[in-house]
Protein backbone atom coordinates (compact mmCIF):
# COMPACT_ATOMS: atom_id res chain seq x y z
CA UNK A 1 0.00 0.00 0.00
CA UNK A 2 1.32 3.46 -0.86
CA UNK A 3 1.91 6.03 1.83
CA UNK A 4 -0.86 8.34 0.54
CA UNK A 5 -3.61 5.72 0.36
CA UNK A 6 -6.78 6.63 2.24
CA UNK A 7 -7.56 4.06 4.88
CA UNK A 8 -10.77 2.17 4.25
CA UNK A 9 -12.13 2.14 7.77
CA UNK A 10 -15.79 3.04 8.40
CA UNK A 11 -16.07 6.83 8.58
CA UNK A 12 -15.47 8.34 11.98
CA UNK A 13 -18.03 10.86 13.18
CA UNK A 14 -17.19 14.50 12.53
CA UNK A 15 -17.21 17.06 15.29
CA UNK A 16 -20.64 17.85 16.68
CA UNK A 17 -22.18 14.55 15.58
CA UNK A 18 -23.68 16.11 12.48
CA UNK A 19 -27.14 14.93 11.50
CA UNK A 20 -27.65 13.33 14.90
CA UNK A 21 -25.42 10.38 14.02
CA UNK A 22 -24.08 8.41 16.96
CA UNK A 23 -20.38 8.95 17.64
CA UNK A 24 -18.10 6.13 16.55
CA UNK A 25 -17.00 3.89 19.40
CA UNK A 26 -13.23 3.53 19.81
CA UNK A 27 -12.07 0.79 22.19
CA UNK A 28 -8.47 0.97 23.42
CA UNK A 29 -7.02 -2.11 25.08
CA UNK A 30 -4.19 -1.21 27.45
CA UNK A 31 -3.48 1.72 29.75
CA UNK A 32 0.25 2.00 29.12
CA UNK A 33 2.08 4.84 27.40
CA UNK A 34 0.34 4.27 24.06
CA UNK A 35 -3.14 3.83 25.50
CA UNK A 36 -2.98 6.93 27.69
CA UNK A 37 -1.50 9.06 24.92
CA UNK A 38 -4.23 7.98 22.51
CA UNK A 39 -7.04 8.73 24.98
CA UNK A 40 -5.64 12.21 25.50
CA UNK A 41 -5.17 12.88 21.79
CA UNK A 42 -8.72 11.75 21.00
CA UNK A 43 -10.10 13.88 23.83
CA UNK A 44 -8.21 16.89 22.50
CA UNK A 45 -9.52 16.33 18.98
CA UNK A 46 -13.05 16.01 20.36
CA UNK A 47 -12.77 19.27 22.32
CA UNK A 48 -11.59 21.07 19.20
CA UNK A 49 -14.51 19.77 17.18
CA UNK A 50 -12.32 17.71 14.87
CA UNK A 51 -13.72 14.34 15.88
CA UNK A 52 -16.86 12.87 17.42
CA UNK A 53 -16.03 9.60 19.12
CA UNK A 54 -16.90 7.68 22.24
CA UNK A 55 -13.85 6.13 23.89
CA UNK A 56 -13.59 3.08 26.15
CA UNK A 57 -10.29 2.08 27.75
CA UNK A 58 -9.93 -1.53 28.91
CA UNK A 59 -7.14 -2.71 31.18
CA UNK A 60 -6.80 -5.63 33.56
CA UNK A 61 -5.17 -3.33 36.10
CA UNK A 62 -6.72 -0.14 37.48
CA UNK A 63 -3.45 1.76 37.22
CA UNK A 64 -0.85 2.96 34.78
CA UNK A 65 2.69 1.76 35.52
CA UNK A 66 5.70 3.90 34.70
CA UNK A 67 7.85 0.95 33.71
CA UNK A 68 11.17 2.84 33.24
CA UNK A 69 11.37 3.27 37.02
CA UNK A 70 10.23 -0.19 38.10
CA UNK A 71 13.83 -1.15 38.79
CA UNK A 72 13.94 1.55 41.48
CA UNK A 73 10.92 -0.02 43.19
CA UNK A 74 12.68 -3.39 43.01
CA UNK A 75 15.79 -1.93 44.67
CA UNK A 76 13.89 -0.02 47.39
CA UNK A 77 14.53 3.43 45.96
CA UNK A 78 10.89 4.28 45.27
CA UNK A 79 7.48 3.26 46.57
CA UNK A 80 4.94 1.51 44.34
CA UNK A 81 2.64 4.54 44.38
CA UNK A 82 5.48 6.67 43.05
CA UNK A 83 5.47 4.88 39.69
CA UNK A 84 1.85 3.72 39.62
CA UNK A 85 -1.18 5.98 39.33
CA UNK A 86 -4.87 5.23 39.06
CA UNK A 87 -6.20 5.32 35.50
CA UNK A 88 -9.32 7.05 36.73
CA UNK A 89 -7.22 9.73 38.39
CA UNK A 90 -5.15 10.33 35.24
CA UNK A 91 -8.14 10.40 32.90
CA UNK A 92 -10.67 12.08 35.19
CA UNK A 93 -11.22 14.97 32.78
CA UNK A 94 -10.89 13.10 29.48
CA UNK A 95 -14.50 11.86 29.07
CA UNK A 96 -13.51 8.22 28.70
CA UNK A 97 -15.22 5.07 29.97
CA UNK A 98 -12.79 2.85 31.87
CA UNK A 99 -13.43 -0.87 32.14
CA UNK A 100 -11.41 -3.06 34.47
CA UNK A 101 -11.17 -6.41 32.73
CA UNK A 102 -9.17 -8.82 30.64
CA UNK A 103 -9.83 -9.25 26.93
CA UNK A 104 -10.31 -12.92 26.07
CA UNK A 105 -11.70 -12.69 22.56
CA UNK A 106 -11.86 -10.38 19.56
CA UNK A 107 -14.42 -10.86 16.77
CA UNK A 108 -12.98 -8.72 13.99
CA UNK A 109 -15.91 -9.55 11.68
CA UNK A 110 -18.65 -8.73 14.15
CA UNK A 111 -16.65 -5.88 15.72
CA UNK A 112 -16.99 -7.27 19.25
CA UNK A 113 -14.53 -7.55 22.14
CA UNK A 114 -15.21 -10.19 24.80
CA UNK A 115 -13.98 -9.85 28.39
CA UNK A 116 -13.18 -12.56 30.92
CA UNK A 117 -16.35 -11.75 32.88
CA UNK A 118 -18.46 -12.48 29.78
CA UNK A 119 -19.11 -8.87 28.82
CA UNK A 120 -19.26 -8.18 25.08
CA UNK A 121 -18.45 -4.69 23.82
CA UNK A 122 -19.04 -3.62 20.24
CA UNK A 123 -16.66 -1.21 18.54
CA UNK A 124 -16.22 0.78 15.38
CA UNK A 125 -12.46 1.01 15.80
CA UNK A 126 -10.27 -1.13 18.05
CA UNK A 127 -6.77 -0.16 19.14
CA UNK A 128 -4.59 -2.86 20.70
CA UNK A 129 -2.12 -1.20 23.06
CA UNK A 130 -1.63 -4.09 25.48
CA UNK A 131 2.15 -3.77 25.72
CA UNK A 132 4.68 -6.52 26.25
CA UNK A 133 5.58 -9.36 28.56
CA UNK A 134 8.86 -10.98 29.51
CA UNK A 135 10.26 -13.21 26.74
CA UNK A 136 12.28 -16.16 28.03
CA UNK A 137 13.25 -17.53 24.58
CA UNK A 138 12.47 -21.02 25.83
CA UNK A 139 15.46 -21.13 28.19
CA UNK A 140 14.76 -23.95 30.68
CA UNK A 141 13.81 -22.80 34.17
CA UNK A 142 13.41 -19.08 33.44
CA UNK A 143 9.61 -19.06 33.71
CA UNK A 144 9.68 -21.05 36.95
CA UNK A 145 12.64 -19.54 38.76
CA UNK A 146 13.51 -16.10 37.37
CA UNK A 147 11.89 -12.75 38.06
CA UNK A 148 10.61 -10.48 35.32
CA UNK A 149 10.17 -6.75 35.78
CA UNK A 150 7.05 -5.64 33.92
CA UNK A 151 4.58 -4.80 36.69
CA UNK A 152 4.35 -3.29 40.14
CA UNK A 153 3.53 -6.71 41.56
CA UNK A 154 6.72 -8.17 40.08
CA UNK A 155 8.80 -5.22 41.28
CA UNK A 156 7.40 -5.51 44.81
CA UNK A 157 7.98 -9.27 44.91
CA UNK A 158 11.52 -8.79 43.64
CA UNK A 159 12.21 -6.19 46.32
CA UNK A 160 10.90 -8.62 48.94
CA UNK A 161 13.25 -11.32 47.71
CA UNK A 162 16.29 -9.03 47.52
CA UNK A 163 15.79 -7.81 51.07
CA UNK A 164 15.08 -11.34 52.34
CA UNK A 165 18.40 -12.55 50.97
CA UNK A 166 20.25 -10.15 53.27
CA UNK A 167 18.09 -11.07 56.25
CA UNK A 168 18.81 -14.76 55.65
CA UNK A 169 22.54 -14.11 55.28
CA UNK A 170 22.60 -12.18 58.56
CA UNK A 171 20.97 -15.12 60.34
CA UNK A 172 23.46 -17.55 58.84
CA UNK A 173 26.71 -15.72 59.65
CA UNK A 174 27.99 -18.81 61.43
CA UNK A 175 28.07 -20.66 58.11
CA UNK A 176 31.40 -19.05 57.20
CA UNK A 177 32.56 -16.42 54.73
CA UNK A 178 31.83 -18.34 51.53
CA UNK A 179 28.48 -17.87 49.82
CA UNK A 180 28.25 -21.46 48.71
CA UNK A 181 24.48 -21.67 48.46
CA UNK A 182 24.09 -18.48 46.41
CA UNK A 183 22.10 -16.58 49.04
CA UNK A 184 23.98 -13.37 48.28
CA UNK A 185 24.47 -13.97 44.58
CA UNK A 186 22.24 -12.02 42.20
CA UNK A 187 22.29 -12.86 38.49
CA UNK A 188 20.81 -10.38 36.01
CA UNK A 189 20.24 -11.61 32.47
CA UNK A 190 20.37 -8.92 29.80
CA UNK A 191 22.71 -5.99 29.28
CA UNK A 192 20.19 -3.54 27.83
CA UNK A 193 19.06 -0.39 29.68
CA UNK A 194 16.92 -2.33 32.17
CA UNK A 195 19.69 -4.77 33.07
CA UNK A 196 22.34 -2.06 33.33
CA UNK A 197 20.16 0.23 35.43
CA UNK A 198 19.07 -2.61 37.70
CA UNK A 199 22.65 -3.82 38.24
CA UNK A 200 23.83 -0.32 39.10
CA UNK A 201 20.93 0.30 41.48
CA UNK A 202 21.42 -3.05 43.20
CA UNK A 203 25.13 -2.36 43.67
CA UNK A 204 24.24 1.04 45.14
CA UNK A 205 21.71 -0.53 47.50
CA UNK A 206 24.38 -2.92 48.77
CA UNK A 207 27.06 -0.29 49.18
CA UNK A 208 24.98 2.52 50.69
CA UNK A 209 22.18 0.77 52.55
CA UNK A 210 22.86 -2.91 53.24
CA UNK A 211 26.32 -2.09 54.55
CA UNK A 212 24.71 0.02 57.30
CA UNK A 213 21.60 -2.10 57.88
CA UNK A 214 23.66 -5.27 58.34
CA UNK A 215 26.95 -4.10 59.89
CA UNK A 216 28.03 -7.63 60.80
CA UNK A 217 27.52 -8.93 57.28
CA UNK A 218 30.58 -9.31 55.07
CA UNK A 219 29.53 -7.20 52.07
CA UNK A 220 32.33 -8.73 50.03
CA UNK A 221 30.22 -11.89 49.95
CA UNK A 222 27.62 -10.12 47.79
CA UNK A 223 27.97 -11.02 44.15
CA UNK A 224 26.11 -9.22 41.34
CA UNK A 225 26.58 -10.86 37.95
CA UNK A 226 25.30 -9.23 34.76
CA UNK A 227 25.17 -11.61 31.78
CA UNK A 228 24.95 -10.31 28.20
CA UNK A 229 25.09 -12.53 25.12
CA UNK A 230 26.41 -9.79 22.85
CA UNK A 231 29.90 -8.32 22.94
CA UNK A 232 28.83 -5.00 24.49
CA UNK A 233 26.30 -3.55 26.89
CA UNK A 234 23.48 -1.24 25.81
CA UNK A 235 22.90 -2.55 22.31
CA UNK A 236 21.94 0.33 20.04
CA UNK A 237 24.19 2.80 21.85
CA UNK A 238 27.59 3.87 20.57
CA UNK A 239 30.70 1.88 21.46
CA UNK A 240 31.82 4.76 23.67
CA UNK A 241 28.60 4.75 25.70
CA UNK A 242 28.67 0.97 25.97
CA UNK A 243 32.20 1.14 27.30
CA UNK A 244 31.23 3.84 29.79
CA UNK A 245 28.43 1.62 31.08
CA UNK A 246 30.80 -1.33 31.41
CA UNK A 247 33.41 0.72 33.26
CA UNK A 248 30.79 2.26 35.54
CA UNK A 249 29.32 -1.08 36.57
CA UNK A 250 32.71 -2.67 37.12
CA UNK A 251 33.74 0.23 39.33
CA UNK A 252 30.67 -0.52 41.42
CA UNK A 253 31.70 -4.15 41.81
CA UNK A 254 29.36 -5.70 39.24
CA UNK A 255 30.74 -8.83 37.55
CA UNK A 256 29.88 -8.24 33.87
CA UNK A 257 29.98 -11.26 31.55
CA UNK A 258 29.88 -10.48 27.83
CA UNK A 259 29.42 -12.88 24.93
CA UNK A 260 27.84 -15.51 27.11
CA UNK A 261 24.21 -16.39 27.71
CA UNK A 262 22.18 -18.37 30.20
CA UNK A 263 21.58 -22.00 29.32
CA UNK A 264 19.28 -22.89 32.22
CA UNK A 265 18.03 -21.69 35.59
CA UNK A 266 17.13 -23.68 38.71
CA UNK A 267 16.02 -22.64 42.17
CA UNK A 268 19.60 -22.41 43.41
CA UNK A 269 21.94 -22.00 40.44
CA UNK A 270 22.38 -20.70 36.91
CA UNK A 271 24.21 -22.51 34.13
CA UNK A 272 25.84 -20.32 31.48
CA UNK A 273 26.24 -21.23 27.81
CA UNK A 274 29.99 -21.63 28.35
CA UNK A 275 29.31 -24.39 30.88
CA UNK A 276 29.99 -22.41 34.07
CA UNK A 277 27.58 -22.87 36.95
CA UNK A 278 26.89 -19.95 39.30
CA UNK A 279 25.19 -20.66 42.65
CA UNK A 280 22.36 -18.11 42.85
CA UNK A 281 18.96 -18.09 44.47
CA UNK A 282 17.78 -14.92 42.77
CA UNK A 283 17.79 -14.48 39.00
CA UNK A 284 16.33 -11.43 37.27
CA UNK A 285 15.42 -11.83 33.60
CA UNK A 286 15.83 -8.60 31.60
CA UNK A 287 16.99 -10.30 28.43
CA UNK A 288 13.90 -10.26 26.29
CA UNK A 289 10.57 -8.61 25.59
CA UNK A 290 7.66 -10.30 23.84
CA UNK A 291 4.24 -9.06 22.79
CA UNK A 292 1.24 -9.50 25.07
CA UNK A 293 -0.66 -12.77 24.45
CA UNK A 294 -3.65 -10.74 23.30
CA UNK A 295 -1.86 -10.54 19.95
CA UNK A 296 -2.90 -14.14 19.30
CA UNK A 297 -6.61 -13.25 19.50
CA UNK A 298 -6.71 -11.40 16.19
CA UNK A 299 -6.19 -14.44 14.00
CA UNK A 300 -3.29 -12.94 12.06
CA UNK A 301 0.18 -14.35 11.51
CA UNK A 302 2.42 -12.65 14.04
CA UNK A 303 5.78 -11.17 13.14
CA UNK A 304 9.12 -11.11 14.90
CA UNK A 305 8.84 -11.16 18.68
CA UNK A 306 5.22 -12.35 18.25
CA UNK A 307 4.31 -8.76 17.49
CA UNK A 308 1.26 -7.81 15.41
CA UNK A 309 2.03 -6.91 11.79
CA UNK A 310 0.86 -3.41 10.88
CA UNK A 311 0.86 -1.23 7.78
CA UNK A 312 2.19 2.32 7.44
CA UNK A 313 -0.86 3.64 9.30
CA UNK A 314 -0.44 1.13 12.18
CA UNK A 315 -3.54 -0.70 11.07
CA UNK A 316 -3.35 -4.47 11.58
CA UNK A 317 -2.56 -6.01 8.21
CA UNK A 318 -5.71 -7.43 6.70
CA UNK A 319 -8.12 -5.92 9.25
CA UNK A 320 -9.47 -2.48 8.38
CA UNK A 321 -10.87 -1.45 11.75
CA UNK A 322 -8.14 -2.59 14.13
CA UNK A 323 -4.89 -0.78 14.97
CA UNK A 324 -1.91 -1.96 17.01
CA UNK A 325 0.35 0.52 18.78
CA UNK A 326 3.25 0.47 21.20
CA UNK A 327 5.24 -2.61 22.19
CA UNK A 328 2.78 -5.03 20.64
CA UNK A 329 3.06 -3.58 17.11
CA UNK A 330 5.61 -4.82 14.59
CA UNK A 331 6.25 -1.30 13.34
CA UNK A 332 9.35 -0.73 11.25
CA UNK A 333 11.70 2.20 11.05
CA UNK A 334 13.20 3.75 7.94
CA UNK A 335 15.91 1.07 7.96
CA UNK A 336 13.37 -1.74 7.82
CA UNK A 337 14.15 -2.89 11.35
CA UNK A 338 11.51 -3.24 14.05
CA UNK A 339 11.24 -0.14 16.19
CA UNK A 340 12.33 -0.58 19.82
CA UNK A 341 9.73 -1.34 22.47
CA UNK A 342 10.13 1.95 24.34
CA UNK A 343 7.83 4.73 25.50
CA UNK A 344 8.70 7.32 22.79
CA UNK A 345 7.67 4.88 20.05
CA UNK A 346 4.39 4.09 21.84
CA UNK A 347 3.53 7.76 22.31
CA UNK A 348 4.26 8.61 18.67
CA UNK A 349 2.19 5.61 17.57
CA UNK A 350 -0.75 6.97 19.54
CA UNK A 351 -0.43 10.40 17.99
CA UNK A 352 -0.44 8.91 14.50
CA UNK A 353 -3.56 6.79 15.06
CA UNK A 354 -5.40 9.82 16.46
CA UNK A 355 -4.40 11.73 13.33
CA UNK A 356 -5.58 8.90 11.07
CA UNK A 357 -9.00 8.86 12.73
CA UNK A 358 -9.31 12.65 12.58
CA UNK A 359 -8.29 12.74 8.92
CA UNK A 360 -10.72 9.95 8.07
CA UNK A 361 -13.55 11.99 9.60
CA UNK A 362 -12.74 14.82 7.18
CA UNK A 363 -12.12 12.57 4.19
CA UNK A 364 -8.43 13.40 4.13
CA UNK A 365 -5.45 11.13 3.61
CA UNK A 366 -2.76 10.65 6.24
CA UNK A 367 0.97 10.46 5.55
CA UNK A 368 2.66 7.21 6.56
CA UNK A 369 3.93 6.92 10.09
CA UNK A 370 7.53 7.98 10.59
CA UNK A 371 9.27 7.57 13.90
CA UNK A 372 11.33 10.51 15.11
CA UNK A 373 14.17 9.22 17.25
CA UNK A 374 14.65 11.61 20.16
CA UNK A 375 17.63 9.75 21.57
CA UNK A 376 18.40 7.16 24.23
CA UNK A 377 19.47 7.33 27.86
CA UNK A 378 20.53 4.89 30.54
CA UNK A 379 21.62 5.51 34.11
CA UNK A 380 24.48 3.53 35.59
CA UNK A 381 24.18 4.75 39.16
CA UNK A 382 24.55 7.79 41.34
CA UNK A 383 25.64 10.79 39.22
CA UNK A 384 26.47 8.50 36.33
CA UNK A 385 24.60 7.93 33.08
CA UNK A 386 24.98 7.93 29.32
CA UNK A 387 22.80 9.86 26.88
CA UNK A 388 22.76 9.98 23.10
CA UNK A 389 20.61 12.69 21.53
CA UNK A 390 19.78 13.67 17.94
CA UNK A 391 22.45 15.55 16.06
CA UNK A 392 25.25 13.38 17.41
CA UNK A 393 25.12 14.94 20.89
CA UNK A 394 26.46 12.49 23.48
CA UNK A 395 26.75 13.00 27.20
CA UNK A 396 28.25 10.98 30.02
CA UNK A 397 28.57 11.29 33.77
CA UNK A 398 26.74 13.78 35.97
CA UNK A 399 25.27 15.94 33.20
CA UNK A 400 23.79 12.88 31.49
CA UNK A 401 22.45 11.70 34.84
CA UNK A 402 20.75 15.05 35.48
CA UNK A 403 19.25 14.99 31.99
CA UNK A 404 17.98 11.47 32.69
CA UNK A 405 16.36 12.62 35.94
CA UNK A 406 14.63 15.59 34.34
CA UNK A 407 13.32 13.58 31.40
CA UNK A 408 11.84 10.87 33.58
CA UNK A 409 10.22 13.39 35.89
CA UNK A 410 8.56 15.09 32.92
CA UNK A 411 7.34 11.78 31.53
CA UNK A 412 5.72 10.69 34.80
CA UNK A 413 1.92 10.91 34.80
CA UNK A 414 0.54 13.04 37.59
CA UNK A 415 1.90 16.03 39.50
CA UNK A 416 1.81 14.18 42.82
CA UNK A 417 3.94 11.39 41.40
CA UNK A 418 6.50 13.86 40.07
CA UNK A 419 6.78 15.59 43.43
CA UNK A 420 6.99 12.31 45.34
CA UNK A 421 9.67 10.87 43.06
CA UNK A 422 11.69 14.09 43.14
CA UNK A 423 11.60 14.22 46.94
CA UNK A 424 12.58 10.54 47.17
CA UNK A 425 15.50 11.11 44.83
CA UNK A 426 16.68 14.12 46.81
CA UNK A 427 16.41 12.16 50.07
CA UNK A 428 18.23 9.16 48.64
CA UNK A 429 21.00 11.31 47.21
CA UNK A 430 21.60 13.47 50.27
CA UNK A 431 21.11 10.77 52.90
CA UNK A 432 22.67 7.87 50.97
CA UNK A 433 19.51 5.97 51.77
CA UNK A 434 16.74 3.93 50.13
CA UNK A 435 13.66 4.57 52.21
CA UNK A 436 11.31 2.01 50.62
CA UNK A 437 12.96 -1.14 51.97
CA UNK A 438 9.86 -2.86 53.31
CA UNK A 439 9.26 -6.58 52.95
CA UNK A 440 5.54 -6.90 52.18
CA UNK A 441 4.19 -10.42 51.96
CA UNK A 442 0.64 -10.43 50.58
CA UNK A 443 0.14 -13.95 51.90
CA UNK A 444 0.00 -12.50 55.42
CA UNK A 445 -3.38 -10.96 54.57
CA UNK A 446 -4.99 -14.27 53.58
CA UNK A 447 -5.34 -15.51 57.14
CA UNK A 448 -6.66 -13.88 60.29
CA UNK A 449 -5.51 -14.64 63.80
CA UNK A 450 -8.60 -15.10 65.97
CA UNK A 451 -9.42 -16.48 69.42
CA UNK A 452 -10.22 -19.74 67.61
CA UNK A 453 -6.85 -19.80 65.91
CA UNK A 454 -5.87 -18.89 62.35
CA UNK A 455 -8.80 -18.59 59.92
CA UNK A 456 -8.52 -18.44 56.14
CA UNK A 457 -10.51 -15.52 54.79
CA UNK A 458 -13.23 -16.36 52.27
CA UNK A 459 -11.71 -14.32 49.44
CA UNK A 460 -8.37 -16.10 49.88
CA UNK A 461 -9.75 -19.63 49.62
- Active site residue ranges: 197
The closest of 359, 351, 357, 304 to 332, measured between CA atoms, is 304
Rounded Cα distance between 385 and 375, Å, is 14
Rounded Cα distance between 135 and 305, Å, is 8
Q: Is residue 134 within 8 Å of residue 36, measured between CB atoms?
A: no
Rounded Cα distance between 319 and 101, Å, is 24
Q: Is residue 354 within 8 Å of residue 330, measured between CB atoms?
A: no
- Secondary structure class of 100 (helix, strand, coil): strand
- Secondary structure class of 235 (helix, strand, coil): coil
- Find the helix or strand (DSSP H, E) in which 240 lies: helix 239-251
Rounded Cα distance between 440 and 169, Å, is 19
- Which contacts of 109-118 are long-range, i.e. CB under 8 A and separated by 24 or more positions? 111/321, 113/27, 113/29, 113/58, 115/58
The closest of 14, 29, 23 to 95, measured between CA atoms, is 23
Q: Which residues pair with 456 in a beta bridge?
A: 447
Per-position DSSP letters for 130-188, written without gaps between them = --EEE--TT-TTHHHHEE--SSHHHHHHHHHHHHHHHHHHHHTGGG-S--TT-TTEEEE
The closest of 186, 172, 178 to 71, measured between CA atoms, is 186
Amino acid sequence: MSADTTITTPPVGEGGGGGGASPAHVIIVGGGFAGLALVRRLAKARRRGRLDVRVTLIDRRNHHTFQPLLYQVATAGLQTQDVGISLRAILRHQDVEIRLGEVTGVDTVGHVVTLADGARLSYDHLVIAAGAITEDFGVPGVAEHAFGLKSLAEATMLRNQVLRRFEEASRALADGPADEDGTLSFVIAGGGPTGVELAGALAELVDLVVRRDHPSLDIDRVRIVLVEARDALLGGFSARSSRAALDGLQERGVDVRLEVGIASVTADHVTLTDGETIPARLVIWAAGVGASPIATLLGVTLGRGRRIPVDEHLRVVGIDDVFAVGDIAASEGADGQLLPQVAPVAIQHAGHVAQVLADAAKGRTTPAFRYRDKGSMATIGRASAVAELPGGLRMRGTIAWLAWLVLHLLMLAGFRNRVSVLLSWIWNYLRHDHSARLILDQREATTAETSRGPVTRSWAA
